[in-house]
Amino acid sequence: MEINRQGPMALFFNGVVVGLGWSFFLLMNRMSPAEMNKTAAAAEDTEGIYKRNKQDEYDFMNSASPPRSSPEGCSEADESVPSKRTVRETDVRPRYGIASVCARRRDMEDTVAIHPSFVRKQTEFSRARWHYFGVYDGHGCSHVASRCKERLHELVQEEALSDKNEEWKKMMERIFTRMDMEAVRWEETVMNANCKCELQTPNCDAVGATAVVSDITLEKIIVANCGDSRAVLCRNGKPVPLSTDHKPDRLDELDRIQEAGGRVIYWDGPRVLGVLATSRAIGDNYLKPYVSSEPEVTVTERSEEDEFMILASDGLWDVVTNDAACAMVQMYLNKKGGRGGGRRREATECEERKEDKVVGSRKNRKRGEITDKACTEASVLLTNLALAKHSSDNVSVVVIDLSRRRKRHVA
């Protein structure tokens, strides 16, 4: 037999609870069917609001990268972004690595420009980021290549953010024309810039630079090439050339030069007027119109099979084939990133910003993770290969990881 050991206060509260229960039961029995339906609808609305609030909270936590207030805190205000609840980043900045060597040349005349997220195309509910990579191979002096490094991406940004809705080919052609005109004006005042080239003004118009640049968006890879540098995409283990070298003996280039009244003379290889070994470049005023600044533009749809892209000056491509370069980079990245057998982890936005400050950051050493350090080491391998094959030119290489999935290696 059970004995009720509860005190008087406990019995009182139990009575109150029982009384409230009976009151609720009687109230529900006196409700009409219409009133009961209204009560149920109100409950559903409350549940829906709760779910929407939870979804809004999830969207906010997974929206565009949080504002940064300090380098250490990974927080930075971006007043151009509307509400964080309505805007989402639609792309992850690619990882990259750079290597440049002077090789057997007396001076280093190559320059490289890297600008992740240099353009942000804003819509009502999304913000797509464009990434810029460029390799400029100077000749005669480095000041035209340096000028391209400083200004060419800014010109692309100006055109991209303008109200003109033009196809990529026309836009890039206009940009390169503007860059060429700026190079001409720069050369006219080169003495004031402490130019180190041997040919001083007014003979400094014998200076120029080739340029291969790539704008990478969420959907496309745009490459504009003017000269004999090259862009090669590795897709599903196979090289896909995204540009074609402008050599003076290329049949269409040879015809263009001859129609303009110029000649191609073979002097240690084919050269425009026996001087320049490329048929297109920015600058080189004394060789116009035979040497053109008009780029060739390719637009390639991105694919899940895209692995990486290589941008490099002719110091690499003169001695290394597309197949050999892609095979070496793929082998190295597979080894460092665990591709194929392993899985790589998604990098956080905060980690990406920290690593972008120093190419090849040592902060992330987790097994199976492909970082800027891995891409940098792959680009160094390519420069070493070019030197081993006795390349006599400056060698500059950029390796860009385009894989969309970065996961952690699972033992």
- Domain extent listing, the chain: 93-401
Where does residue 344 rank: exposed (0-12), middle (13-18), buried (19+ CB within 10 A)?
buried
Name the amino acid, one letter, at 341. Answer: G
**pLDDT tens series, the chain, 411 aa:** 444 445 545 545 455 444 545 454 444 444 455 544 544 454 444 444 444 444 443 343 333 333 333 333 333 334 333 333 333 444 567 899 999 999 888 889 999 999 998 888 765 555 678 999 999 999 988 889 999 999 999 999 999 888 777 789 999 999 999 999 998 886 665 555 556 665 455 557 788 999 999 999 989 999 999 999 999 999 999 999 999 999 999 999 999 999 999 999 999 899 999 999 999 999 998 899 999 999 999 999 999 999 999 999 999 999 999 999 999 999 999 887 654 333 343 444 444 444 444 443 334 344 444 558 999 999 999 999 999 999 999 999 999 999 865 443 333
Tell me the C-alpha distance between 264 and 276, whole Å.
Answer: 9
Residue 129's pLDDT is 85
Q: Is 307 helix (H, G, I), strand (E, B) or coil?
A: strand
Q: Name, in order, each residue with C-beta under 8 angstroms of 277's C-beta and a sequence gap of 6 or more.
A: 228, 247, 248, 269, 270, 271
Tell me the C-alpha distance between 58 and 34, whole Å.
Answer: 36
Instruction: Residue count of the chain, please give it.
Output: 411
Helical (H) or strand (E) element with 135: strand 126-139
DSSP secondary structure letters along 203-267: GGGG-EEEEEEEEE-SSEEEEEEESS-EEEEEETTEEEE------TTSHHHHHHHHHTT--EEES
Nearest to 360 by CA among 95, 72, 71: 95
Q: Is 45 helix (H, G, I), strand (E, B) or coil?
A: helix
- CATH 3.30.70.20 holds for 93-401: no
Predicted TM-score of the model (pTM): 0.70
Cα 79–80–84 angle (5° rounding)?
75
185 backbone dihedrals φ, ψ, rounded to 5°: -65, -35
Name the amino acid, one letter, at 377. Answer: E
CB 313 within 8 A of CB 395: yes
Residue 184's pLDDT is 81
